[in-house]
Chains A and B, each alone.
Chain A
Amino acid sequence: MPGTLRVWFPLGICLIWAIFAVLGPILPLTPDEIQLPFILEGPGAHTWFGYDDLGRPVLDRMIMGAQTSFLVAFFVIGISVAVGTAIGVVSAWLGGWWDLVIVRIIDIFLAFPGILLAIALAGILGPGINNVVIALSIVSWVGYARLARAQVLSIKERDHVFAAIALGTRPIRIMVRHLLPLIVAPLIIEATFGVAGVVIAEAGLSYLGLGVQPPEASWGSMIRDGARYMLVAPHMVLAPSVALMLIVLAVNLLGDRLRDYLDVRTVRE
């Protein structure tokens, strides 16, 4: 892809996603309106993406699904970056016994393969968007904690930090003003890739029936419901699948570009 397109294509897709998610509630959508004559009807003049097995418009439900995935991604990344960074920075700064314990806890959380713990947590906490956010946040904070800790360890011996200590600056202020700004770039990049992971995870949980419950829509549950009608109405699977892939691809591309732009080599590869 040519240079500018490599930035604008993913950015545009993410913007469209965000706009639909934010404007969704005020758009004239009828995601729950059942139109019996149009059951399983393919894309056509009535609606761009056809109707589902209950005669609901797929396009409207996809916009609702965009809201679900955006909200979940927003809160999960927000919570886990904040909590993870705080724990990682404090742990590295304090060092000693505290650090030892935190590192062990991080190791233990990392020992669960990715989405497995989220599946178990969501399964046990019960379905619903709140529990999805809780389950995914419990799983995701660790990555940011580990990254923040490693970054602070590598910079906490720098002169400007010693200078701040010598001036009697309070530890909180040192962490926020003198350490945090230096470790923000890799965290932003990790968080960008994290968005892709959370979008997939949310859809995955909903695919398994552990996410948002009907009549709420998620791309994951749309794919699961559509799989049953694949022979007669492939649009029910294809539409949410393509949307999901586009978002994830766009977010990953954006992460790649950001990494090049911020010139951070420590994250991934």
Chain B
Amino acid sequence: MIQQLVSRLLSSLVVIIGVATLVFLLIHLVPGDPVEVMLGESAQPADRDALRHELGLDKPVHIQLWEFYGNLLRFDLGTSLHSKQAITEVLAERLPATIELAIAGMVIALVLAFPLGILAAVRKDTIWDSGAMTVSLVGVSIPNFVMGPLLILMFAVWANLLPVSGREGFASLILPAITLGTALASVLSRMVRASLLEVFNEDYIRTARAKGLAEQVVVWRHGMRSAMLPVITLLGLQLGALLAGAVITETVFSWPGIGLLTIEAIQTRDYPVVQACVLLISTTYVVVNTLTDLAYAWLDPRIRMGGS
């Protein structure tokens, strides 16, 4: 058990190092001279040399990479070219907004997904089932940047109930959270349905029904308990999609989180900040996936981490 735990953690570490390496390489993909792109063509040669030196771009690539790793270990992500602040500070400023939005989006997703999925599974092959699954298919088909403006149009412009954008109070959280949550809700509800249907075929469900238990008890106590496992896994895996979706959702609603920061940094060619944002989001994703794997093994004694 311990050995498997260690090997799982080690392989996550390898992935994180790989992710950091790719992120490091990003700045070398800038067409032409990255320093010129960042400062603009009119910059003084002295300023260019100073920035080149500051970013370490005047050194050989392998030394740059080595220093990049070293700085990461010290949580030193460099300084923002735009605001001249330490990037770790900038991230710390923006992170609460993204966490708030991600949690709210997840809550919305769960609140929508469970009733839809359970309804579809319990009334399998009826109009309820196809109705719920159509709603979920439509939900996956609406991208965030379509959902967002449509919600703004309906609830902020026409009905004038909620703020259009920004982050001021609870009301401003509602539309972004719904935008972010619906896509996840669609995927989740399909998973809830599929795994419930699988569980319904098990012998112990037939036993529960045969001994005359109420259908609610069968579904909730006996069915949901084991159907939850794959759903939890999916929830962990989908966190990445949620975080990526936050980039667009935050842009639609001018929600001042990491996602909006990424886009702002791209627009101002503040590449160190872009690298830091991508690194932060991806690392979070890897860590959550690892935790999901471990939680899965912990929740299901039958698994306890198989060979692969």
Q: Which residues of A contact B (CB under 8 A)?
A: 104-105, 107-109, 111-117, 119-121, 123-126, 196, 200, 203-204, 207-210, 220, 223-224, 226-227, 230-231, 234, 237-238, 241, 244-245, 248-249, 252-253, 256, 269
Q: What residues on A are CB-neighbors of B145 within 8 Å?
A: 203-204, 207, 220, 223-224
A204 near B137 (CB under 8 angstroms)? no
B112 within 8 A of A: no
Contact A252/B244 with A112-B278, A244-B146 known, Cβ cut-off 8 Å? no
B26 within 8 A of A: yes
Q: What residues on A are CB-neighbors of B92 within 8 Å?
A: none
B30 within 8 A of A: yes
A231: nearest chain-B partner, CB-CB: B157
Counting chain A CB atoms within 10 Å of each CB, the highest count among B14, B22, B271 belongs to B22
Q: Is the interface of A mostly helix, strand, loop or mixed?
A: helix
Interface string of B261-286 (1 = CB under 8 A from A): 01100110001001100100110011
In the assembled complex, the Cα of A237 lies from the Cα of B240 at a distance in Å of 28
B282 near A116 (CB under 8 angstroms)? yes
B63 within 8 A of A: no
- B residues 209-264 with Cβ under 8 Å of A? 240-241, 243-244, 247-248, 251-252, 262-263
In the assembled complex, the Cα of A125 lies from the Cα of B143 at a distance in Å of 24
B18 near A113 (CB under 8 angstroms)? no
Q: Which 5 pairs show the lowest CB-CB distances between chains A and B?
A: A113-B240, A123-B266, A108-B18, A113-B244, A249-B141
B244 near A116 (CB under 8 angstroms)? yes
B16: nearest chain-A partner, CB-CB: A111
Q: What residues on A are CB-neighbors of B142 within 8 Å?
A: 245, 248
Q: What residues on A are CB-neighbors of B281 within 8 Å?
A: 113, 116
Q: Is the interface of B mostly helix, strand, loop or mixed?
A: helix
| Residues of B within 8 A of A (CB-CB), count | 50
Q: What residues on A are CB-neighbors of B152 within 8 Å?
A: 227, 230
CB distance from A149 to the nearest CB of B (A): 13
B18 touches which of A107, A114, A204, A224 (Cβ 8 Å): A107
A121 near B29 (CB under 8 angstroms)? yes
B137 near A113 (CB under 8 angstroms)? no
Q: What residues on B are CB-neighbors of A249 within 8 Å?
A: 137-138, 141
CB distance from B86 to the nearest CB of A (A): 21
B247 near A116 (CB under 8 angstroms)? yes
Other than the given A108-B19, A227-B149, 19 more pairs (CB < 8 A) read A104-B15, A111-B19, A111-B285, A112-B19, A112-B285, A113-B282, A115-B244, A116-B243, A116-B262, A120-B275, A120-B278, A124-B271, A125-B29, A223-B146, A230-B152, A230-B153, A244-B143, A249-B138, A252-B137
In the assembled complex, the Cα of A267 lies from the Cα of B153 at a distance in Å of 36
CB distance from B197 to the nearest CB of A (A): 10
Q: What residues on A are CB-neighbors of B289 within 8 Å?
A: 111
B132 within 8 A of A: no
B146 near A108 (CB under 8 angstroms)? no
Q: What residues on B are CB-neighbors of A238 within 8 Å?
A: 150
A114 near B149 (CB under 8 angstroms)? no
B143 touches which of A204, A209, A230, A269 (Cβ 8 Å): A204
CB distance from B181 to the nearest CB of A (A): 16
Q: What residues on B are CB-neighbors of A112 within 8 Å?
A: 19, 22, 240, 278, 282, 285
Q: What residues on A are CB-neighbors of B18 within 8 Å?
A: 104-105, 107-108, 111
Counting chain A CB atoms within 10 Å of each CB, the highest count among B15, B19, B146, B243 belongs to B146
A237: nearest chain-B partner, CB-CB: B149
A118: nearest chain-B partner, CB-CB: B244
B240: nearest chain-A partner, CB-CB: A113
Q: What would be 7 A-B contacts, judged by CB atoms less than 8 Å apart?
A: A112-B282, A116-B281, A126-B31, A220-B145, A224-B145, A234-B153, A248-B143
In the assembled complex, the Cα of A115 lies from the Cα of B259 at a distance in Å of 12
Q: What residues on B are CB-neighbors of A269 within 8 Å?
A: 190-191, 194
CB distance from A231 to the nearest CB of B (A): 5
- B residues 1-27 with Cβ under 8 Å of A? 11, 14-16, 18-19, 22, 26-27
Q: What residues on A are CB-neighbors of B205 within 8 Å?
A: none
- B residues 23-46 with Cβ under 8 Å of A? 26-27, 29-31
B140 within 8 A of A: yes
Q: What residues on A are CB-neighbors of B27 within 8 Å?
A: 124
In the assembled complex, the Cα of A203 lies from the Cα of B145 at a distance in Å of 9
CB distance from A237 to the nearest CB of B (A): 5
Contact A253/B243 with A111-B18, A120-B262 known, Cβ cut-off 8 Å? no
B141 near A207 (CB under 8 angstroms)? no
Contact A241/B278 with A104-B18, A248-B143 known, Cβ cut-off 8 Å? no
Q: What residues on B are CB-neighbors of A124 within 8 Å?
A: 26-27, 29-30, 266, 271, 274
A117 near B278 (CB under 8 angstroms)? yes
Q: What residues on A are CB-neighbors of B271 within 8 Å?
A: 124
Q: What residues on A are CB-neighbors of B190 within 8 Å?
A: 269
B157 near A230 (CB under 8 angstroms)? yes
CB distance from B282 to the nearest CB of A (A): 5
In the assembled complex, the Cα of A125 lies from the Cα of B32 at a distance in Å of 10
B21: nearest chain-A partner, CB-CB: A108
A230 touches which of B14, B149, B244, B285 (Cβ 8 Å): B149
In the assembled complex, the Cα of A120 lies from the Cα of B289 at a distance in Å of 22
